[in-house]
Chains A and B, each alone.
Chain A
Amino acid sequence: MKAFIVSLVVIVLFTSLIIINAIYINRVANDLISVANSAKIDTGCEKLSSLWESKRLIISLCAHHKEIDKIEEQILLMQDSARANDYISFDRARVLLVEYIDHIRKHERVTLDNIL
């Protein structure tokens, strides 16, 4: 009976943790996407990179590390493009960055697509 109650509590705790994590990831992804979309080549992307740095650890707990690497690669590309005033590369990197962040966000959703 004791083991049953402990297991039940653990399952409830884990399920709550997973739900909270999904909500948090969704919120962080929204913030990152909105900051990425508002980033301009002349103002650089310091805000984006500092926001990413502050959230990176928590995202890496639940996202595949290859996805984290891809996001970081695009942020670096955006920074480089901003320094070189390369609008095309900057926009391409931004589109890809938004796509990768969106992928992490979608991954947390309970959809038939994700389940199957």
Chain B
Amino acid sequence: MATVLLRTLIVYALFVLAIRLTGKRQIGELQISELVITFMISELATAPIQDISIPLSYSVIPIVFLLTFEVIVSFLVTKSKLLKKLFTGNPSYIIRNGKLNQGELGKLRIGLNELLGELRLKDVSDINDVDYAIVEQNGKISVFLKKHKRIVTTSDLDIDVKRDGLGHAVIIDGNIDYTSLGYAQKNEAWLNKQLKERNLELDEVFLMTVDDASSINIIIKEEK
């Protein structure tokens, strides 16, 4: 049983590394080749765990090979149009300039009900409001509404707004997140100064965020 446990740990570590190296994308966002690799690796990984008479090398060698092959293919795909078409395909326009492309819909085997369902999921109740609908390489549908149906933005109204950017969580549960602090382009001395100005100790802070415009938001820990 100890062998099974050790094998499981080795295969688990290798599998996590493999998935980590292929990228941070979710299963639904995987390209076709990445999806194939994920299925193959998961199958290969379990075989020597279930049957200890199979050498671990039967699993390790194909996993490492598939992983490295995937990295090479991904690189070559970015360099060659032909390979890109072969491995990832092209986005398909199912609605172009407000006109439904029935041929493309049939080719992709997407039913009208399915398309209407996808549009409803994107808060589109009328297909006539859609300017473009594109089936991306990962199978997801991107929808762009006609100009008069789009949400009004500040630029449409010619309003000048101050950029606030992303809120970086610099303190999480009383601990400084130095990576986020770096992203916010601040340092520990600045952070301590901010806390001092507010008469706060580091371990009293549950969450502190700083956005790119240096606006600070602090949530203090609740007393237990």
Contacts and interface: CB of A to CB of B under 8 A. Distances in A.
Contact of A64 (B53, B61, B67, B75): B53
A116 B108 CA distance: 33
Contacts of B72: 4, 7-8, 11
Nearest to A9: B68
B69 A11 contact: yes
Q: Is the interface of A mostly helix, strand, loop or mixed?
A: helix
B201 to A, nearest CB: 43
Chain B contact residues: over half helix, strand or loop, or mixed?
helix
A7 B72 CA distance: 7
Contacts of A10: 64, 68
Nearest to B61: A14
Contact of B55 (A6, A7, A18, A63): A63
Contacts of A55: none
Contact of B68 (A11, A61, A66): A11
Contacts of A4: 71-72, 75
A61 B71 contact: no
B65 A64 contact: no
Given A11-B65, A18-B61, A3 B55 contact: no
Interface of A: 1, 3-4, 6-8, 10-11, 14, 18, 60-66, 69
